[in-house]
Amino acid sequence: MKYSTSLATAGLVQLALGLPAPQMTYEENTGDVGGVNPPIPTYTGPPVGDLRGSTNLQGGIASRPPVSGGASAIVADPELVNGQEADGKLGLYLDFDSATYPNGPQPIRGGMGGTDPGPRTYEYEKLNPDIYAPPETDVGTVPQAMWPLGLSHNLFGSGQESGWARQQNQNNLPVATAMAGVDMRLAPNAYRELHWHTSGEWALVLKGSVRVAAINTDGESFVDDVTEGDVWFFPQGVPHSLQALHEGAEFLLIFDSGTFSETDTFLATEMLMRTPISVWAKDLQTDVSSFDNIPDAEKYIFNGTPAPANITEQNITSSAGALWGPDGYTYHWSQQEWHNTTGGSVKILDPATFPVADMFSAALVVLEPGAMREVHWHTESDEWSYFLQGSARITVYQAPAASQTFDFTAGDVGYIQKSAGHYVENTGAGDVVFLEVLQARRFSDISAAQWLALTPRQVVKDTLNLTDAVLDAIPKDKTLIKPGNPNMTAIAVTGHL
């Protein structure tokens, strides 16, 4: 709208309408491909030529085509990055971002694979090196475990620049049967209209601050302000409202159903519109004229009046009183101290300290460069994860003999099925920050290293052929995080981490 207005002021609307649409420029293959020899000459005029060719072009009838001198599939001077020529079983992280267009990256690892003459878009390969050139240890079939929310359709609010929401559910990540996620943005003072869900809603504030309000079945009311790093939870069916405060907000919502859809939410506006006015007049003990100005469409996300700075002005209670403490719907996780260990930091939130969210357990994890969340699996729940910052990779081991490695960057969702072994390794130059969410009454996992350390020695040696020196060095207590060399290809040269 602002763009059109400014053009109109300059008298350039007609000129702008005639301009070609701007195009993104990507690093991709160019030249002849698939029998097409670009650039194609521009043609203006009535259609000419047939859409279908002659039957004389059928195999055995047509003359033999030339097999050289055309669009060769040979890639001249392919470029390999550090680690690509190392043993493929090492599975080193390959920094394809350092590859030089158009000679790299190439899908080669440990002498396997081959060059790629195209078609291709290099940005995808740079973001997903373990998909493009997988470790030799990746075998078999593992369900797709990664979805970038940047590829989810964005649904805009009803108000002018009031906000938006995008979601992940089984429609785009079929393996995610137990949980789904929504990334929502509210402009300063904007609302997510009064609503409720058929699923429980666990939320982490990513940016800004939100005022939340709700009531339970006993008529106890709740209102609180949450800020970046804080959490709220509303059980299934509990009606609530969300309003961004003066700096706006973005938050992550996790629901306890893989089929959850933001578009299936129960809305106060729709409930009002879909029930006879006479019924509402009786229910609210008022005249039917009171409903002359009710909305004629859902409001969804819309701009609102700034919330009063004094929250007590909105703390309305019945004789049942207010909810607080263990019955309250928020937890100020931002104020919890970190558990610090070599290689990173962790903090856990589960029903032990936030009992209202009786089946949500979460860990917020920070990994330093080169560090990793140790190899582990969860016994009680699938894991839904979200990457807030940095880059990482996860190898998912699926019984009995399959594995696949996935790459993640900020804004990506991961999903790992219960009992599937996995780790999270920082692949970037800075810290990686990610969230792990379980449907469990306690956040827990099995540490692969601790299991080996606490299993009778001869059993491990006879099964895995590991030496006493290796087993002696494994801590008997769970470490959660393992430190590592930020130079992730150093082992290929030195033989040491």
Q: What is the pLDDT of residue 66?
A: 85
Q: What is the pLDDT of residue 497?
A: 59
Buried/exposed code over 197-227 (b: 16+ C-beta within 10 A; e: otherwise): bebbbbbbbbebbbbbbbbbeeebbbbbbbb
Block residue for tokens 């069916």: 237
Name the residue among 126, 128, 104, 127 with its Cα closest to residue 116: 104
Query: Residue 388, exposed/middle/buried by CB under 10 A (0-12, 13-18, 19+)?
Result: middle
Q: What is the pLDDT of residue 30?
A: 77
Q: What is the pLDDT of residue 10?
A: 44
Residues with a catalytic annotation lie at 436
Q: For residue range 396-455, what is the model confidence (pLDDT) as tens digits?
A: 999 999 999 999 999 999 999 999 999 999 999 999 999 999 999 999 999 999 999 999
Contact 420, 398 (CB under 8 A): yes
CA-CA distance, 405 to 140, in Å (whole number)? 12
Q: What is the pLDDT of residue 489?
A: 87
pTM above 0.95, yes or no: no
For residue 56, the SS3 value is helix
Q: What is the pLDDT of residue 28?
A: 77
CA-CA distance, 9 to 380, in Å (whole number)? 63
Other residues' Cβ atoms within 10 Å of the Cβ of residue 474 = 17
Q: For residue range 247-261, what is the model confidence (pLDDT) as tens digits?
A: 999 999 999 999 999
Contact 418, 378 (CB under 8 A): yes
Q: What is the DSSP track for 212-255? A: EEEE-TT--EEEEEEETT-EEEE-TT--EEEEEEEEEEEEEEEE
Low-confidence ranges of the chain (pLDDT < 70): 1-25, 494-497
Q: For residue range 84-114, what is the model confidence (pLDDT) as tens digits?
A: 999 999 999 999 999 988 899 999 999 999 9
Block residue for tokens 């089946």: 359
CA-CA distance, 311 to 211, in Å (whole number)? 9
Task: Read off the tokens for 482.
Answer: 């393992």
CA-CA distance, 215 to 323, in Å (whole number)? 8
CA-CA distance, 233 to 379, in Å (whole number)? 23
Block residue for tokens 């059109």: 4
Left (φ > 0), alpha (ψ -120 to 50) or beta: where does 34 sit?
Answer: left
The angle at the Cα of 243, spanning 349 to 225, to the nearest 5 degrees, equals 45
The single-letter code of the amino acid at 169 is: N
